[in-house]
Amino acid sequence: MKKKLILYFIALAALTSAYNCNSKDDGPGKDPKVIVDPPPPAEPQKEGTYNYKTFEKQHLAFGTGYSQTADKTVEFPKDIDQVQSIKMYVQFGCPCNIWDMYANIQAKDPKTNEWYEIGRYITPYGKDSSPLARGLEFDVTDFKSILTGTTELRIFTEVWGSDGWLVSVDFDYIYGKPDFKYSAITPILQYNENSLKGVPYGESHAFDLEKTITIPKNAESAHIRSIISGWGHATPNDVGGRGCAEWCFRTHQIKIDGQNTFQHILGPIGCADNPIKDQRGNWKPDRAGWCPGMAVPTRIDVLKNPKAGTSFVFEYYFEPWVNNMQSPAENKQAFYALSNFIVVKSDTPIEKATVKN
């Protein structure tokens, strides 16, 4: 009997051991153990300045096989959300045309195929840009959304001689935390093909200077970016023989919903202090808001209320004046070349503002 009892307990122990060995944690009713890989480390924020050369001593001239315009396709960075600012530098070398002429740089919006004026300058009288280490400097950060990846650029100089200019353009992409992660830009007005294709001043015209702008719902900041320069020697002259629109000092208005909101004073900016000195022409007297051999100023008007998700009426308004068409100059008209853009920013992905007639 004792022997049978011992055998019974041995058999029971064997069965218990076998059950424990065959049981699994992932059997019915059990949650499997899932091993999750840790997320990859975040890409470090780039730092420093990266330079991109585009046009190099591109000869712009008129006649004898030359052109006033040149186009080029370039590759810019794609990690634009890490870029704090973008600076553009323009150098111009000889042969140096003797006249002070309208010139600009444009970039194409790949979605609309529209050219955006990103900077404007007036050439000096027969003098290169060598007094400036890197040439004229322009802050073009507002155009981040199109100055990325494959980008088409265009340079233009309204030169009427076969000598012309050797134009070079390069960009500094400065990495760091931007004020807002995302931005978008939309043209409002662009009457800037050349100095004589601007808005006629002091006479009736069919140019549309009023637009309706709708701001995206998630806009956290909005501003208007403008460039204006006047051309012509139209009369009656202001005191001191100042003809319009090159010499006559004027105050322009940007109206928002019919109210004067921003002023643009086109007056002296210090032509005699230009670092490009000893030009071969009348470079020292002050023009109305520009100087030979200098960048035409970029004017930034920040909307205190970004008007997110709403619409407003924009109007560019000129100080009243009437051209009597009595100028002794060959061209008796006055013109204002305009470009105005609306820039919106946000820390979430943002669409362009819309601009309609």
Question: Which active-site residues does the annotation give?
Answer: 100, 158, 246
342 vs 357: CA distance, rounded Å:
15
Q: How far is CA 9 from CA 12, 17, 23, 58, 136, in A?
A: 5, 12, 22, 101, 99
Q: What are phi and psi of 176, to 5 degrees?
A: 160, 180
54 vs 108: CA distance, rounded Å:
14
Q: Which of 274, 276, 60 is nearest to 155 (CA)?
A: 60
DSSP string, 63-131: BTTB-SEEEEEEEE-S-GGGEEEEEEEEEEESS--SS--EEEEEEE-TTT--EEEEEEEE--SS--STT
User: Which pair of tokens denotes residue 287?
Assistant: 């023009």
84 vs 139: CA distance, rounded Å:
11
CB 109 within 8 A of CB 147: no
